[in-house]
Amino acid sequence: MARLIAKLAFASVLLTAGCAIGPKYTKPTVPAPAAYKEAETSGAEGWKTAEPRDETLRGKWWGRFQNPELNQLEEKLNISNQNVAAAAANVQAERAMIRQARAQYFPTVAANPAFSNARLSTAFGQTVGINFNTFSLPLEASWEPDLWGRVRSTVKASTFGAQAGIADLENVRLAAQADLAADYFQLRGQDALKQLLDSTVGAYREALELNLDLYKAGLGNDEAVAQAESQLKAAEAQDTNLGVLRAQYEHAVATLVGQPAPAFSLAAEPLREEPLSIPIGVPSQLLERRPDIAMAERSVAQANAQIGIAKTAFFPTLTLNGSTGFQSVAFLNWLAWPSRVWSVGPSLAETIFDAGLRRATVQQYQATYDQTVANYRQTVLTAFQQVEDNLAALRVLGRVIEQEEEAVDAAGRNLAEAEVRYRSGLDPYLNVIAAQTNLLNDQQAAVNFRAQRMVAAVQLIKALGGGWDSSLIPTAQELKAPGPGESGR
């Protein structure tokens, strides 16, 4: 048997040098603009991106916000997020598929020991039936040389699939990290609103007490008291209602970091962060920075390899078969040298007629390839759009916040004047209520705009790839080795 296996191995060296069938892969082209339109506009409008010397995001991008609590939450997410864990498990499955495909390069050897007891029929002219035993210990080997590159294309397709899975893992991780940061800043925005409403409720309560004192002293009227009380109760209701959305953001953060919502809480802390400069680079760099773009491109390569697999079905299949072992009717002679048996020989198979099945299969994979190319280009276009969207959001929100702060200042002056005129008896208390309402609305809008700007900064970082780079995808050679935790299972 050892001699047979050696012959098959020698034949493999000769036959695996056959030609490979299938189209050569070329990365699809996508035109990239020279610069981001909104980046140039942002510089003119006051919101600036990072200096050229810091033109790329690196490492733990959330550290740019300089928030220790957010840093801790992001670290927990990297360890405990279940969507990330599921994507990581998918990567291990894809790596195992590479080894499955590579196993087809080698012969298959099987042992099939058997024992049987049989009796010959007397119907063939024998007067006495004959009982006999059969002892067999065959070793069988078969091997299909990769004449047309089917196995090579399968290995390539599996490798590209694993690389796409790794890029998908990073895309899932980045999406979860960005969702966590966005939810965190929106939660802190709710805390800032809570702080504002608490302060407002206190001011409205003092106003109610003032109107009650004036009414008791005969200097006011019950109408003003009712108006002040109504305003206080409405503000208290707004203040209480903030708890709904804050709780939802807190629960979302808990799920993202892999903890049960009932066992997780964050102490109140108003939003204080301001967006820092974010290095955006040039649009052509985005093709290498976004994990979803890398995943789409590797999917194109995988689809191209599958066309080659389908085309090999048009060519004949050569199989080398061999077997050896021992066979005897007596147990004592079972493994004796005269009981040895063996056979060896090739077989050739070719489909003569399939009613167009193979041609239709190739057309199917060619259409799938065209689909993945379109998906890749659409992913790139969407990436450019997302960067521009969030650059525009940062630019516009920066200006909006400046305008809203001016509105808050004006509303504050208007309220002070209204209070003076009311206490002087020149205006009714309704004018004070209108001024207070305008001030609160402007203050709430300012807080919401700041939270939106922080979310836009997070989304811009996500749109830029979060500091990831396609060079981090393992090569085909690196993917041959088992991944973490695979060798021991």
CA-wise closest residue to 146 among 102, 115, 205: 102
Span 72-77, average pLDDT: 96
Task: Give the model's confidence band at 14: pLDDT under 50 very low, under 70 low, under 90 confident, else very high.
Answer: very low
- Nearest partner of 439 among 158, 104, 174, 207, judged by Cα: 207
pLDDT per position as a tens digit, 442-486: 999 999 999 999 999 999 999 999 989 888 999 988 887 766 555
Residues 277 and 384 grouped into a single domain: yes
**Domain shared by 55 and 140, yes or no:** no
Residue-level pLDDT at 431: 92
Say whether pLDDT at 46 is over 50: no
Write down the pLDDT at residue 165. 96
Average pLDDT over residues 80-97: 95
Q: Residue range 64-69: average pLDDT?
A: 93
Count the domains in the chain: 2
For CA atoms 224, 227, 232, 235, give the dihedral sign. Answer: negative
What does the alpha-carbon distance between residue 181 and residue 189 come to, in Å, rounded to a whole number? 12
Share above pLDDT 70 across residues of the chain, in percent, rounded to a whole number: 89
Burial (Cβ within 10 Å: 0-12, 13-18, ≥19) of residue 262: exposed
Amino acid at 208: L
Residues 334 and 368 in one domain: no
* Whole-number percent of the chain with pLDDT over 90: 62
Over the stretch 185-213, which tens digit does the pLDDT of each residue have? 999 999 999 999 999 999 999 989 988 98
- Please check whether residues 213 and 344 belong to one and the same domain: no
The kind and range of the H/E element at 417 are helix 357-423
Token duo for residue 229: 């009380």
Q: What are phi and psi of 19, to 5 degrees?
A: -80, 155
The answer as to whether 489 is a domain residue is no
Residue 301 placed within a domain: yes
Residues 466, 57 contacting (CB under 8 angstroms): yes
Cα gap 64→467, rounded to integer Å: 12
Residue 5 has pLDDT above 70, yes or no: no
Residue 126 pLDDT exceeds 70: no
Please report whether residue 484 resides in a domain: no
Q: pLDDT tier at 56 (50, 70, 90 boundaries)?
A: low
- pLDDT value, residue 486: 57
Average pLDDT over residues 95-113: 91
Q: Are residues 388 and 438 in the same domain?
A: yes
Asked if the structure places residue 460 within a domain, the reply is: yes
CA angle 57/58/60 to nearest 5° reads 110
Residue where a domain stops, chosen among 349, 371, 405 = 349
Task: Tell me: pLDDT of 40 over 80.
Answer: no
Whether residue 356 lies inside any domain: the answer is no
User: Which CATH number characterizes residue 137's domain?
Assistant: 2.20.200.10
Question: Which residues in 157-183 are b (16+ Cβ under 10 Å) and which e?
Answer: bbbbbbbbbbbbbbbbbbbbbbbbbbb
Q: What is the pLDDT of residue 45?
A: 44
Q: Which residues pair with 344 in a beta bridge?
A: 322
For residues 262-279, give the mean pLDDT. Answer: 90
Asked if 197 and 283 touch (Cβ cutoff 8 Å), the reply is no
* H or E element at residue 244: helix 222-256
**Average pLDDT, integer, range 166-177:** 96
Query: Is residue 88 pLDDT above 80, yes or no?
Result: yes
pLDDT of residue 451: 96
Q: For residue 127, what pLDDT is reported? A: 56
CB 467 within 8 A of CB 292: no
Confidence of residue 362 (pLDDT cuts 50, 70, 90): very high
Q: Per-residue confidence at 59, pLDDT binned at 50, 70, 90?
A: confident
Q: What whole-number distance in Å separates Cα of residue 461 and Cα of residue 479? A: 29
pLDDT of residue 325: 81
Domain of 415?
31-105+147-315+363-479
pLDDT at 53: 44
pLDDT higher at 224 or 245: 245
Same domain, 82 and 172: yes
Same domain as 228, residue 116: no
Q: State the sign of the Cα–Cα–Cα–Cα dihedral 404, 407, 413, 415.
A: negative
> Which of 265-274, 324-333, 425-434 is predicted with the least confidence, judged by mean pLDDT?
324-333
Q: Say which CATH number the domain at 310 has.
A: 1.20.1600.10
Q: Which whole number is the average pLDDT over 254-278? A: 92
**Domain assignment of residue 214, yes or no:** yes
The helix or strand, by DSSP H or E, that contains position 212, with its residue range, turns out to be helix 150-216
pLDDT > 60? residue 433: yes
pLDDT given for residue 488 in this prediction = 42
Distance CA 90, CA 95 (A): 9
CB 273 within 8 A of CB 44: no
- Residue 47, amino acid: W
Tell me the pLDDT of the chain averaged across its residues.
87
Q: Are residues 46 and 116 in the same domain?
A: no
